[in-house]
Amino acid sequence: MFTRSPGFTYKNNELHCDAVSINKLAKKFGTPLYVYSATAIRERYRTLERAFHHVRHTLCYSVKASSNLSILRLLAGMGAGFDIVSGGELERVRRAQKKALKKVVFSGVGKTAAELKLALSSGILLFNVESEGELALLAECAANLRKTAAIALRVNPDVPAETHPYISTGLREHKFGVRIANARELCRRARDKHLRVTGVSLHIGSQIGDVAPFHLAMERAVDLAQQLVSDGHHIRFIDAGGGLGISYSSAAPVDFSDLAHRYAEAVTEPLLRMKKPLPHLLLEPGRSIVAPAGALVTRVLYLKQNGNKHFTIVDAAMNDLIRPALYSARHEITPVNLHDRNAKKIQSDVAGPVCESGDFLARDAMLSAVEPGENLCVLDAGAYGMSLASNYNSRLRAAEVLVEGARVRLIRRRETVKEMLQSEAACL
The C-alpha atoms of residue 268 and residue 266 are separated, in whole angstroms, by 6
| Burial class (CB within 10 angstroms; exposed 0-12, middle 13-18, buried 19+) of 36 | buried
Lowest model confidence (mean pLDDT) among 196-200, 342-346, 404-408: 342-346
Residues 177, 135 contacting (CB under 8 angstroms): no
Catalytic residue among 17, 187, 355, 427: 355
Mean pLDDT across 102-113: 96
Mean pLDDT across 190-198: 91
Beta bridge partners of 183: none
The C-alpha atoms of residue 101 and residue 96 are separated, in whole angstroms, by 10
48: Cβ contacts below 8 Å, ≥ 6 apart: 59, 260, 264, 283, 285, 288, 289
Check residue 2 and give its pLDDT: 47
C-alpha distance from residue 303 to each of 216, 306, 310, 352 (Å): 49, 10, 8, 12
The C-alpha atoms of residue 346 and residue 307 are separated, in whole angstroms, by 14
pLDDT single digits (tens) 69-100? 999 999 999 999 999 999 999 999 999 999 99
pLDDT mean across residues, the chain: 92
Which run of H or E residues covers position 350?
Answer: strand 346-351
The half-sphere exposure of 18 on its side-chain side, counting CA atoms within 13 A, is 22
The SS3 assignment for 24 reads: helix
Question: CA angle 369-370-373, nearest 5°?
Answer: 170
pLDDT single digits (tens) 208-260? 989 999 999 999 999 999 999 999 999 999 999 999 999 888 877 889 999 99
Mean pLDDT across 331-353: 90
Check residue 368 and give its pLDDT: 87
Check residue 167 and give its pLDDT: 40
pLDDT single digits (tens) 143-158? 999 999 999 999 988 7
The SS3 assignment for 15 reads: strand
- Length of the chain in terms of residues written: 428
60 is catalytic: no
